[in-house]
Structure 1
Amino acid sequence: MRPRISSLALGGVLGLALVACSGDPAGSSGADATDAAAGDATGDGHGAVAGAAEVSEPQLGLTTIDPAGAVTHLDLLDESVSDLGSVGAPSALTTDGRYLFAQTDAGVEVVDSGVWTWDHVDHFHYYRADPALLGTVEGDGDATVATTNLSTTGGTGLFFPDSGEAVLLDTEALSEGEISEQFRVEVDPHAGLVVPVGSFALVTEATDGVATSVVARGADGEPTGLEEPCVRASGTITTRVGAVIGCADGALLAHVEDEELVVERIPYPAGTTAPPATSFANREGRPTVAALAGDAGEAGIWLLDTRERAWTLLPAPEPLVVVSAVDDADQHVLALTATGRVLVLSGEDGAVLAATEPLAAASLAAGVRPTLVADQQRAYLSAPLEQRLHEIDFADAARVARTFETTTEPAFTAETGR
């Protein structure tokens, strides 16, 4: 059967329905309930906020920003499309599955997609509210944004490299439509990180413009006295176990235990010569993350199992652009090749299990980077210059399940509602 192609038309009605606790769609294992980070995911309110409706299933969508800043939301349930407004021309995008943090000339502009999932360890809650443009966090340089897996509590970190300003946003305030800074502190300018961990944040410090350590700070921005070496800190992601920060010699794993911040070091295997991981990706919240070893994965693919505190280096079958760990029952790893194909790889030995045809070749040839993201059931690939969004069933021989044509170039894409 040929993949269905849907033209995106503006409009669509938001369906609202109240529902009680729902089962776990993400395939969480019982072991997850004992993970240190799982305790941080629980709390009063179950992710509910005033004006939001709890619904019976994930409100998954693809929220895109075109080169001029127009923000569009594709509802993956009914295939309707909504125009959410516009921001400045974007140069980068980070998301936590609800908010879009778009780098523009004004700073970091925040978009609330209005759809999110609350992880309650053994089950999930799903919400829908009105989308909104929340405003701008000002700062100098292209900021690095670090998020958690919760969109109504905790913090969101922004680091502005040109000024050395480290900012922690109040995520609960974001959920209420306000941008509120818990702290803004200045350190030496460098390509740094502000990584939220529970009620704390780890902020990089630099020597001669290069990150050399992370310093723990409380919600008020004051140092707690905890500092860990982390030379050339680069890349961060939050898993079900804790927050990961890449370092030249491995990674730091941080979580909160008994209201105390705990930071562990996970060194690379002894004798390794592969380049360090500098950018991580996975199916949101799962324990294993993936990263390229080298710009195109020329030295392979790093897998970090945060539950086992262990690295694995897989071979890369060809030059790659991005990789992501699905961390499902079959331990799939997804990869986008330099020719625009999506590969499904074995997490055990890196063998190619399935592949698509080239889906984003023109974009990659022009130096335009597509987005590849996965949830439990599907992967989504943007093809900006081709003006298409692809839905891929990675468990079914990388079958292209749906292709959506867009009326503008989806320069930056986020899967929201997850």
Structure 2
Amino acid sequence: MTARTFFRSVPRGAWFTTGIAAVAAVGLSVWAFGFAIPSQADATQTITRTATAALRTMEKTVSTTGTVTPAIEDSVSFAVSGTVTAVKVAAGDTVKKGQTLATVDTLQLKADLLQAKADLAEAKATLASAEDAADGTSAATAQVSAAEAAVNVAKASVSDAEDAMDDATLVAPDAGLVSAVDIAVGDKISSGSSGGSSSGTGGTSGGTGGSSAGGQGTASTSASLSSSSSSSAAFTIVSTDSWAVDVSVGETDIANVTKGDQVELSTDDGTAYYGTVSEVGLLPSTTSGSAEYPVTIAITGKGKGLFDGVSVDISIVYERRTDVLAVPSMAVTTADGTSTVTVVASDGTQKKTTVKTGDTAEDYTEITSGLSEGDSVLVASFTPRGASGDSGTQNSQNGTGRFPGGGEMPSGGFPGGSTGGQGGGFPGGQGGNQ
């Protein structure tokens, strides 16, 4: 059979299949010798990560959690007796400090004030008579002293009666939202205060409520509604732009917390807020099985976005130092009380150096001697899977096959960098291949 006859006898489909196989074989060869084999050779190269010794701010903190509450929650009631003549606000209203909330009638209060003034005038007249009749005897001197004391008592009664007149107008002790109103026009208010009575009438003229600018009465929790004998407040006012957090700190950490410490707070969505420690309790609670001390934190500013009941993570900063030379803790190896790092020169050469370390915070270690700012140190090295199919090796500067401190290679890369051939970095440092 001639060659021509042979080729004609072979089906065309067979020739097509043979052609495809030949092209695939050529392509596979090109890929294997042009890409795969060189890539496997490159993969055996060791990848290193470095960081730069840099100045940082080192902090020591106490961490806890808490719930935001209004910094102000006033229970406001009248400190005098009388019938409610006006209620100026309703639940849900926003009030300013010193704004009028309600008033009571002043008929009895005016009578008490007039009686107190009359008693004062009488006491002064008695004193004048005693002074005129004084003849130097012990009895006369005693009468003058008694009259002077009566004048002082009468003056105090007038002052109390005047305060009671001012207290007939109840004002907001702080700005905020009126969250509850438990009083209405016509209610009879009975003072439960320990204020004195004006002489001559027996009517109560004063209460425990203080006075604000302008002479008007402020909050008192001692008065109640006579119609129901209830001790509930007439008004409840809460702040809407002033917030606080009450937390508990264990007995181990409480010694580090002092009034005025700065506080960093964050909500679940990552929003950051700041504050200060406003109060540290002296008596612990043991309800949780261990002693814990109450600590109150005042949030700085108006706390935009906060509301009553939101949960926050809290870091109380009790020590902060700036310009501290530090490197990632992964770069430090400590054995038998001696700490070392591997310094990487600009030409890639490595040298193990003994250093002295200080505090550790946020995955960084303070270096007190042995390094200078700007020195490059080896954090970790990694040899990927080789061409021979071995499992690869992970190396640190001490050659143990693990990272400093015994950690495995971080999944997904190094902090601030990557696991590939591109130079990664650490916060405050630099990284790259050497």
TM range (shorter): under 0.3
The structure showing larger relative contact order (alpha-carbon pairs under 8 Å, at least 6 residues apart) is 2
Higher strand share: 1
Task: Provide TM-score, normalisation by structure 2.
Answer: 0.17
Higher helix share: 2
Task: Provide TM-score, normalisation by structure 1.
Answer: 0.17
